Amino acid sequence: MKVCVTAAGPGLDANLDPRFGRCAYFVVVDTETMVAESIPNSSAASGAGIQAAQTIANAGAGALITGNIGPNAAETLRAAGVKVYLAPGGSVGEAIEKFKNGEFSETSSASVSAHAGMGAGGGMGRGGGRGGGRGGGRGQGGQNW
């Protein structure tokens, strides 16, 4: 069986990344041969959840191990027949071994709400400033008041 693990890097030694749609890599492992294929997450920047779920289904994975998953991605995976398992952390290889030993239980619903990873939008350059300037610049205009 092919199992996909969300990861911070490529390979079995990479740490599990708890962010499903925004993880850096999907590591797809054949549990019989332990051969791993690392797929960069090209949808991490936008439309993350559903596109990531489609990537996993297209890779032929029958199961996903991740830290958190939203409702849209969970539904897309369920419709594709991919079972979802939640893991607290560790490496990709450790997660696969725990999966093979039956230490994870399948989840049937999302673990976070929709758009949970998007933040409050108070970043630089998006109108999130507080307007704390007082207009008392230190220019070299030559005027003395």
* Residue 141 burial (CB count, 10 A): 6
Find where tokens 């560790």 sit: 90
List pLDDT tens digits, range 11-68.
999 999 999 989 999 999 999 999 999 999 987 766 678 889 999 999 999 999 999 9
- Say what the pTM is: 0.75
On whether residue 142 sits in a domain, the answer given is: no
Beta bridge partners of 26: 6, 39
On whether residue 145 sits in a domain, the answer given is: no
Domain count, the chain: 1
Question: Any idea what the CATH number is for the domain that residue 20 is in?
Answer: 3.30.420.130
Which structural domain range is residue 50 located in?
2-111
Query: How far apart are the two ends of the chain, measured CA to CA in Å?
Result: 78
Confidence grade of residue 6 (pLDDT, cut at 50, 70, 90): very high
E-strand ranges in 1-144 read: 2-7, 25-30, 36-40, 63-66, 83-86, 106-107
